[in-house]
Amino acid sequence: MTQSQAGLAPTLRTEPHMPSVARRARPIRAWAVAAALLLAVAWPLASPNIFYINIGILVVLAAIGAVTLNLIIRTGHISLAHGAFMGVAAYTCVLLQTRAGIPFPVAMIVGCLASGLLALVIGPIILRLTGKYFVLVTFLLGEVIRLVFLEWQSVTGGANGIDQIPPGLDLFRSPVGFYYFCLAISVLCIGIVWRILCSDLGRAIDAIREADRIAESSGVPVIRIKVMVFVVACTLVGLQGALQAQMIHAIEPASFNMDVSLGMVVMNVLGGMYYLVGPLIGAVFMVGLPELLRGYVELQQIIFGIILIVVMAALPGGMIGAWHLAHRACTRKRNGSRA
């Protein structure tokens, strides 16, 4: 083993050493998660206005896309086709529901499986690329999928899409009921991603991101893991697509263009790409803030743009990365004063 390999070997450990600071931070994280979940559950009760409930729905749906993309980012890839895979599931679900008469829950599952199957077919080919080449190929892939939605008019409705989508469940007729259903699905997706990242597979994913060649030489099946992660992420993001169609009762190709995928990337960058809570904070920021600034139409884009530029330029580790740096600085200062 060379010196460079020896330096990266700890990334492959299945039981990394947990420093005392991290152990002390665990209760804080648990309380933060509990508080966030409590806030999410209480949101419709604290703000019964339909406008704020809809903002909550948009945030919890955006969290699905951001967190599932984070799983791909952890392998060292940034995909600009994530929104397109969301569209595959959405169109499949809507077509099965409206034309085949299949119940929404079954149609949603089949739609997600269709997205995952496409990822399984394409993944082994494109995941051998890295860096800007992977980004470029996923951009082109997303555009090809969008053009299929646009040009296959007899099936997808072309540029007009499909409208008048009926509620999939009686629960969806109530904004509050729909919010809680979306929240449950979002929590499920976050839980799946969290479980993956905390497992041996998650540690292998981190090793692949840091040095995929060294990981492969150590016996880690790099391509297989990348494909597995890609398929899981593209399957789960289909849930967002199916529920988004239920929210607005319509779908169109523009709802799944590159801007959607780029927005998911920005959510991860803003919150912190290598922290699970990062994309969640990014989703709240990217979705909630523009909606709350609607009353200032003439200043909305300026305010949002300035905040976005400042955060991305001044905080390369995202908001969570900045918080960790501040926490470590305070801890060192406190320990220094005690000494």
Query: Does pTM top 0.75 for this prediction?
Result: yes
CB 63 within 8 A of CB 190: yes
Q: What is the pLDDT of residue 5?
A: 42
Map tokens 């139409």 to a residue.
297
Please give the Cα distance from 337 to 339 (Å, whole number).
Answer: 5
Number of independent structural domains in the chain: 1
**pLDDT for position 43:** 87
Task: Output the six-digit token pair for 283.
Answer: 């989703």
Q: What is the DSSP string of 17-68?
A: ---HHHHHHHHHHHHHHHHHHHHHHHHHHH--SHHHHHHHHHHHHHHHHHHH
- In this structure, is the dihedral angle defined by the CA atoms of residues 199, 205, 211 and 216, taken in order, positive or negative? positive
Tell me if 15 is assigned to some domain: no
Round to whole Å and give the CA distance between 168 and 165: 8
The confidence score (pLDDT) of residue 17 equals 40
pLDDT at 203: 87
Q: Is 81 helix (H, G, I), strand (E, B) or coil?
A: coil
3-state secondary structure of 80: coil
Residue from 148, 137, 140 nearest 91 by CA: 148
Residue-level pLDDT at 13? 36
- Residue 177 domain boundaries: 20-338
Which residues, including other chains, have CB under 8 Å from residue 17's CB and lie 6 or more apart?
none
What is the reported pLDDT for 94?
Answer: 94
CATH of the domain at 112: 1.10.3470
3-state secondary structure of 130: coil
HSE-CB for 57 with a 13 A CA cutoff: 24
pLDDT of residue 52: 87
pLDDT for residue 105: 93
Are 126 and 137 in contact, with CB atoms under 8 Å apart?
yes
For the chain, strand residue ranges (E) read: 162-163, 250-251
Cβ neighbours for 338, distance < 8 A, ≥ 6 positions apart: none
How many Å apart are CA 66 and CA 120, to the nearest integer? 20
**Are 64 and 186 within 8 A, CB to CB?**
yes
- With respect to residue 53, please indicate whether it lies within any of the assigned structural domains: yes
2 within a domain of the structure (yes/no): no
- Assess if residue 8 is contained within a domain: no
Per-residue pLDDT, 65: 93
Per-residue pLDDT of the chain (339 residues; tens, 9 = 90+): 444 444 443 333 333 443 443 444 455 566 777 788 888 888 888 877 888 899 999 999 999 999 999 999 999 899 999 999 999 999 999 999 998 889 999 999 999 999 999 999 999 999 988 888 999 999 999 999 999 999 998 888 888 889 888 888 888 888 999 999 999 999 999 999 999 988 888 888 888 888 778 877 888 888 899 999 999 999 999 999 999 999 999 999 988 988 899 889 988 988 888 888 888 988 888 887 777 777 666 666 677 777 778 777 777 677 776 676 666 767 776 666 655
Report whether 49 contacts 59 (CB < 8 A).
no
How far lies 35's CA from each of 31, 40, 88, 124, 194, in Å?
6, 9, 35, 40, 18
DSSP helix/strand/coil, 127: coil
Is residue 78 within 8 Å of residue 48, measured between CB atoms?
no
The closest alpha carbon to 246, from 116, 97, 110, 82, belongs to 97
Query: Is 1 part of a structural domain of the chain?
Result: no
Pick the closest to residue 249 from 78, 134, 84, 104 (CA basis).
104
In a domain, 4, yes or no: no
CB atoms within 10 A of CB 176: 16
Cα separation values, 222 from 146, 154, 215, 330, Å = 30, 41, 7, 38
Is residue 264 domain-resident? yes
Nearest Cα neighbor of 159 from 170, 169, 148, 168 is 148
